[in-house]
């Protein structure tokens, strides 16, 4: 089954954290470019994130993917002192074209993905169909770069940090 995971970091060695995730996640099919993005729903003054999206093709079920993501976050020494705290690594399961889910631990598509450019832009880079499904209407990169969505995502900054370099090399 196909799944899309959002990976981000805003404290510590951000590139090393993203590379740890890319080295640890199994069954990666595609990796988006890496983007420098503003922190969303975090305290004022929070550091910017590095974010990307990966597409995986796996036989694992969503709860197993979530468990693996949490394990990788722990390997990056992620702490959770309070909601929306800065993080060394954040891995979210955001979408699958093959399954919807609504449990106390996991909802697919991710309920806030449609509000976040740091998810929609790299997701659209891999699959505009997936980004459109998450948003609930068309999301096209060409329209994004022309500014057609600016009024919907006020205050969210996003810029390409580096192109997709492969599974194991973010700016090495």
**pLDDT tens sequence across 146-159:** 888 888 887 888 99
Residue 14 and residue 36 in contact, taking contact as beta carbons nearer than 8 Å: no
State the pLDDT confidence band at 172, using cuts at 50, 70 and 90.
Answer: very low
Q: Which fold has domain 2-112?
A: Alpha-Beta Plaits (3.30.70)
For the four alpha carbons of 56, 36, 24 and 170, in that order, the dihedral sign comes to: positive
Residue 8, helix vs strand vs coil: strand
> How far apart, in Å, do the first and last CA atoms of the chain sit?
30
Residue 73 makes CB contacts below 8 A (sequence gap 6+) with 87, 88, 89, 90, 91
Least Cα distance to 38 among 113, 117, 91, 134 occurs for 117
pLDDT at residue 81, rounded to an integer: 66
**pLDDT tens sequence across 83-132:** 777 889 999 999 999 999 999 999 999 999 999 999 999 999 999 999 99
pLDDT at 137 over 50: yes
Place of tokens 């799944």: 3
Mean pLDDT over 26-54 rounds to 88
Read off the tokens for 65: 């993917």
Place of tokens 């929306």: 84
Residue 91 and residue 4 in contact, taking contact as beta carbons nearer than 8 Å: no
Q: Which of 35-44, 57-66, 162-171 is predicted most confidently?
A: 57-66
Read off the DSSP letter of residue 33: P
pLDDT at 70 over 60: yes
How many whole angstroms separate alpha carbon 23 and alpha carbon 18?
A: 9
How many whole angstroms separate alpha carbon 149 and alpha carbon 136?
A: 14
Domain ranges of the chain: 2-112
pLDDT at 169 over 80: no
Q: Is 145 left (phi over 0), alpha (psi -120 to 50) or beta?
A: alpha
Least Cα distance to 160 among 148, 149, 171 occurs for 171
pLDDT at 46 over 60: yes
């Amino acid at each position: 089954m196909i799944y899309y995971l959002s990976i981000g970091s805003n404290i510590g060695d951000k590139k090393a954290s993203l590379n740890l995730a890319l080295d640890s996640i199994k069954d990666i099919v595609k990796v988006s470019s890496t983007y420098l993005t503003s922190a969303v729903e975090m305290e004022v003054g929070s550091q910017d994130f590095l974010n990307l999206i990966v597409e995986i093709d796996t036989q694992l079920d969503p709860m197993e993917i979530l468990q693996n993501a949490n394990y990788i976050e722990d390997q990056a020494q992620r702490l959770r002192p309070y909601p929306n705290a800065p993080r060394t690594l954040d891995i979210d399961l955001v979408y699958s074209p093959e399954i919807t889910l609504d449990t106390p631990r996991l909802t697919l598509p991710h309920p806030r993905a449609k509000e976040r450019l740091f998810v929609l832009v790299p997701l659209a880079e891999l699959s505009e169909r997936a980004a459109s499904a998450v948003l609930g209407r068309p999301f096209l990169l060409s329209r994004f770069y022309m500014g057609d969505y600016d009024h919907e995502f006020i205050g969210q900054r996003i810029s390409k940090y580096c192109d997709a370099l492969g599974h194991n090399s973010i700016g090495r």
